[in-house]
Amino acid sequence: MEFFCYHRDRAGSAALRGELLEAHWGYMDRFAAEMIARGPTFADGGEAPTGSVHIVDLPDPAAARAFAFDEPNYQAGVYRDVLLRRWRNLLGRTMWDFPGGPSGGRRYLVLGFGSGPAADLDVPRDRGELIAYGPLLSDDGVFRVGTAALVRAAGPDAARAVLTAGRHAGIEVHEWEFGGRR
């Protein structure tokens, strides 16, 4: 089962995040084989961390909750909240398989939250800049509650355009980069 996990940073927690970097990476190393995508989000032109994205393939919802809430930054109070949803990998690959590689161009996390009829059921035709793409699902996997995408784009407006305008109750766009050890 695939899960989308977005830990959002608590205001003023950047120093603590920095202190825990090795513990965070060590924790994530334990899930290397299950990882579909990972990486931090930023504000202020990539200078200020705002959260961490992890898309993982785990056995069940209990394992996903343990993954999200046993994470060292979460345990220490770096994060203010966690978005944890079932997810479906419509591209069938990991971020490391993205033909564009980990560098070059600007990268974004795009989250579309639904209300009413499901939107963006299919992968966009121009999938060349998509790093990861799939639906956010209810806990039982039956209902679609939104869409999550990682995309390379010229800017936030171009990133937002991977989702259908007017079909979501809200769309968030966050600067994002490939995560992991450097």
Q: What is the pLDDT of residues 83-108, one digit of tens each?
A: 999 999 999 999 999 998 888 889 99
**Is residue 25 pLDDT above 90, yes or no?**
yes
Whether residue 57 contacts residue 115, with contact meaning beta carbons closer than 8 Å, is answered with no
**Is residue 75 pLDDT above 60, yes or no?**
yes
Average pLDDT over the chain, rounded to whole? 92
How many angstroms separate the Cα of 29 from the Cα of each of 23, 32, 139, 180? 10, 5, 26, 9
**Residue 117 pLDDT class (50, 70, 90 cuts):** low
State mean pLDDT over 19-25.
Answer: 95
**How many CB atoms neighbour CB 95 within 10 A?**
23
pLDDT for the residue 114: 82
How many angstroms separate the Cα of 172 from the Cα of each of 21, 148, 180? 26, 10, 23
**Residue 47 pLDDT class (50, 70, 90 cuts):** confident
